[in-house]
């Protein structure tokens, strides 16, 4: 056999689609259909109440149940979700962070109650809380206790579930929040170091077994459309990971030193305009993580072409599944050794990214490590994202169909009555609430109370691993909200930094300067600087857009009130009244806009706030029209990338409402 071919083609990576919506029954049906189509692993998407530790009947869960994933409130739901799926053979990825210990406990419980020993289970819990503070926003507890939960999960799985990846250090959302390749490498590896140091400090794994802890750390990365650079990023990351293992933790086994990663390719670059263009983008991004054998992903899930429009339908997910299968089974990708070995271009890119990442990791270390450096990293991400958006606005970054080649034919893909997306049944939330009530009535309440008391005791005792008590609570029939509330009472509340105040002031251009001048004119007529409240009602933690609106509003001279994520409509209305704001901007990307936006508008008017309300999010045209009918002044969606234009329109809304508009000259 020649050296430029492999003796036998490599096995394909684990092929997944990220899926889950509504309730456990509907999602189980979707999973079994996807597995029948050739998917080789599960990737479970949970709804926001499940991700943040609230039951479907909690006030903060209003409008969010089953929207961005499946609602799982107790072991009964998990049994339904996994019905007829062979857990002893399945490799299951659960995208879950703040409540990862709980969802793993439910998974273990269902396995054991169906005759599968925990030691046989294979899969991954994402379990990366630092990126939740930096980008995704689905945290539940303060940093210290959260790191303890992660470390306890790591120690428990290494000892009890040896095939399980207890953490998937997730740089995916860092790129979605604006991270450059250097920042993505640096912040992810700094997070992994913080987790390993916490596990070591807790002392629940022997020194001799610690290399196995290093070997169980996996990563979940992003791959953007600059696919050559993205592949170099992964090679640089793998080199640094081996270096960290050898030099910091004394790992010598080459198998344990290997960087194992799964990937979902970039969603940030998917466009609402000409969404059919997203298909070639997805294919190119998949090449970034499959072309080079020495840095090939172990598992891949691809977004659907229409994720900038709303929730993908089963057919859309099938298309993404088929893309993977064509790459794996029709092309010759898996037949060769590493095709980049000896490449001057790749070697140069890798060295450049590795050196930049090491420098940035040193800065994080100077701030005290990843946990202490959260405010620093958050501010840098906000700044990087602002620069990316500004470059798109200026045309320096070209996005086909969005800022160049915008002339288009109507797309048959979005011409159907559903607009090309799936809308969850509006009855799901009420069904989940009723089912939860029945569950509580039928369970052994004494057993639940006893298990939760044990959990509280374990939480207060720093020396104890919290997983055994968590599994006992799952087996007794406790709910997601009860588990999380027990820990909230023990650990306290926390609100992560927004990065808006710490972000450096932006530069200026002709358009921004014109908006700034208009802000000064209108502010003078008002007798005070225009005040804008930016709020995120509900549990949606995707704050990148809201942060960029807040930063740009500040850059054009407005006074900005931004309190971060996870606010009730009542809190937003109260804040708007107390701050006497001139305009209210609301951001929702979770699909709960039709429930939460009208309620917020109603409460604003009840409090006498007549300021115009503008809304941004993934909002279908029909919903946008209904929101305008209910009092919303403007609706912005992902196609509206020109933030200076948005700022100009907001200023004119304030001017019109206050009768401060000056006549056109």
Q: Which residues are catalytic?
A: 18, 172-173, 536, 540, 542
Pairing relationship of beta strands 122-125 and 14-16 according to DSSP bridges: unpaired
Q: Which of 163, 82, 166, 83 is nearest to 120 (CA)?
A: 163
Q: Which of 333, 299, 305 is nearest to 319 (CA)?
A: 305
Distances (CA, A) of 170 to 127, 185, 550: 9, 10, 26
Q: Rounded distance, CA 560 to CA 585, Å?
A: 10
Residue 531 β-bridge partners: 559
Phi, psi (5° rounding) for residue 167?
Answer: -145, 140
Q: Rounded distance, CA 586 to CA 614, Å?
A: 6
Q: Rounded distance, CA 36 to CA 27, Å?
A: 14
Q: Rounded distance, CA 425 to CA 418, Å?
A: 13
Q: Rounded distance, CA 9 to CA 336, Å?
A: 7
The answer to whether 488 and 122 are in contact (CB under 8 A) is no
The answer to whether 544 and 135 are in contact (CB under 8 A) is yes
Q: How many CB atoms lie within 10 A of CB 141?
A: 23
3-class SS shares of the chain: helix, strand, coil, % to 5:
50, 10, 40
Q: Rounded distance, CA 627 to CA 593, Å?
A: 9
Q: Rounded distance, CA 41 to CA 264, Å?
A: 14
Q: Give the three-class secondary structure for 152.
A: helix
The full DSSP string for 380-396 is HHHHHHHHHHHHHHHTS
Q: How many CB atoms lie within 10 A of CB 400?
A: 14
The answer to whether 106 and 474 are in contact (CB under 8 A) is yes
Q: Rounded distance, CA 99 to CA 102, Å?
A: 5
Q: How many CA atoms lie within 13 A of 599 on its CB side?
A: 16
Q: Which of 318, 279, 309, 305 is nearest to 418 (CA)?
A: 309
């Amino acid at each position: 056999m020649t050296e430029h071919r492999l003796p036998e083609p490599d096995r394909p990576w684990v092929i997944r689609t990220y899926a889950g919506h509504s309730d456990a029954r509907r999602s189980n049906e979707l999973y079994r259909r996807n597995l029948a189509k050739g998917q080789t692993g599960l990737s479970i998407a949970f709804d926001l109440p499940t991700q943040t530790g609230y039951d479907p009947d909690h006030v903060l869960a209003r409008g969010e149940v089953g929207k961005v994933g499946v609602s799982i409130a107790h072991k009964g739901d998990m049994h339904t979700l996994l019905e007829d799926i062979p857990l002893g053979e399945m490799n299951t990825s659960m995208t879950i962070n703040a409540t990862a210990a709980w969802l793993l406990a439910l998974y273990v419980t269902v396995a054991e109650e169906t005759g599968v020993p925990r030691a046989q289970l294979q899969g991954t819990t994402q379990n990366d809380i630092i990126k939740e503070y930096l980008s995704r926003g689905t945290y539940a507890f303060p940093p210290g206790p959260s790191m303890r939960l992660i470390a306890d999960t790591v120690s428990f799985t290494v000892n009890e579930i040896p095939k399980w990846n207890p953490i998937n250090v997730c740089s995916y959302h860092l790129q979605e929040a604006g991270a450059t390749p250097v920042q993505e490498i640096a912040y992810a590896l700094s997070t992994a170091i913080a987790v390993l140091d916490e596990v070591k400090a807790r002392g629940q794994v022997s020194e001799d077994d610690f290399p196995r802890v290093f070997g169980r750390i996996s990563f979940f990365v992003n791959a953007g459309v600059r696919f050559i650079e993205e592949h170099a990023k992964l090679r640089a990351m793998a080199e640094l990971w081996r270096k960290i293992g050898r030099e910091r933790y004394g790992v010598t086994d080459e198998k344990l030193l290997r960087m194992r990663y799964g990937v979902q390719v970039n969603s940030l670059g998917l466009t609402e305009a000409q969404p059919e263009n997203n298909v070639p983008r997805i294919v190119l991004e998949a090449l970034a993580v499959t072309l080079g054998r020495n840095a090939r992903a172990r598992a891949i899930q691809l977004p659907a072409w229409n994720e900038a429009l709303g929730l993908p339908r089963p057919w859309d997910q099938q298309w993404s599944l088929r893309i993977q299968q064509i790459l794996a089974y029709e092309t010759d990708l898996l037949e060769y050794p590493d095709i980049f070995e000896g490449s001057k271009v790749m070697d140069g890119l890798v060295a450049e990214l590795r050196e930049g990442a090491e420098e940035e990791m040193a800065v994080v270390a100077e701030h005290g490590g990843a946990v202490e450096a959260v405010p620093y990293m958050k501010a840098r991400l906000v700044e990087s994202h602002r620069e990316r958006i500004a470059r798109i606005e200026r045309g320096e970054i070209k996005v086909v169909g969005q800022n160049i080649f915008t002339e288009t034919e109507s797309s048959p893909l979005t011409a159907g009555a559903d607009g090309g997306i799936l809308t969850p049944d509006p009855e799901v939330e009420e069904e989940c609430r009723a089912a939860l009530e029945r569950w509580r009535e039928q369970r052994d309440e004494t057993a639940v109370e006893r298990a939760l008391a044990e959990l509280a005791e374990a939480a207060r005792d720093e020396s104890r691993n919290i997983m055994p008590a968590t599994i006992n609570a799952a087996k007794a029939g406790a709910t997601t909200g009860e588990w999380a509330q027990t820990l909230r009472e023990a650990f306290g509340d926390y609100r992560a930094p927004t990065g808006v105040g710490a972000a450096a002031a932006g530069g200026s251009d002709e358009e921004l300067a014109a908006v700034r001048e208009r802000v000064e004119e209108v502010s003078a007529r008002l007798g005070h600087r225009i005040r804008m409240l930016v709020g995120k009602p509900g549990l949606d933690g995707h704050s990148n857009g809201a942060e960029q609106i807040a930063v740009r509003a500040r850059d054009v001279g407005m006074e900005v009130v931004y309190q971060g994520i996870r606010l009730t409509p009542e809190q937003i209305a109260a804040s708007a009244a107390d701050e006497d704001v001139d305009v209210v901007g609301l951001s929702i990307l979770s699909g709960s806009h039709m429930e939460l936006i009208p309620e917020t508008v109603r409460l604003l008017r009840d409090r006498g706030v007549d300021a115009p309300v503008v809304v941004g999010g993934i909002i279908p045209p029909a919903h946008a029209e209904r929101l305008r009918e209910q009092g919303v002044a403007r609706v912005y969606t992902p196609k509206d990338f020109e933030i200076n234009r948005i700022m100009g329109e907001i200023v004119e809304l304030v001017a019109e409402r206050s009768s401060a508009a000056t006549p056109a000259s």
